[in-house]
Every structure is written in C-alpha cells, then in structure tokens.
Amino acid sequence: MRRQELEQALGGRRSRREEFADLFGCWSAADLAEFEEATKDLRQIDPDDWK
C-alpha cells in the first residue's frame, strides 16, 4: 500500500518514455525532413570502402 501512496503523491506512475520526454523532446515533421536531407549522403554505401 505504501508504494501506491508514494506513486500517487508523486503524480502517478509514468512510463520510461514519459520519464525522459522532457530531456529529449520531440521532432516535428519539418525537423525530421531537415535531418534526413542533411544526412542522406551518410546512407549511401561506397563499395570501394569495403575492398
């Protein structure tokens, strides 16, 4: 019973994702598009690098 009381006093139980949401934030669709554009060259494989 004490655990439930403690959780209630602290505002309820949150998932791990919720616990860290304020640290990592969230990307908008525009943020994602900008990141994808800026890193697209990193996803291309150069076969000569594997020789």
Amino acid residing at 29: A
Distances (CA, A) of 16 to 22, 24, 41, 43: 12, 12, 33, 30
Ordered by start, the domain boundaries in the chain are 2-42
Residue 37, pLDDT score: 96
> Which tens digits make up the pLDDT trace of 5-30?
766 777 666 666 667 777 777 888 99
Alpha-carbon 25 to chain mean position: 7
User: Which residues contact residue 35 at a Cβ distance below 8 angstroms, ignoring those fewer than 6 apart?
Assistant: 27
Between 26 and 37, the more confident residue is 37
* Alpha-carbon span 11 to 25, nearest angstrom: 20
pTM above 0.95, yes or no: no
Residue 27, pLDDT score: 86
Yes or no: say if 4 and 10 are a contact pair by the CB < 8 Å rule.
no
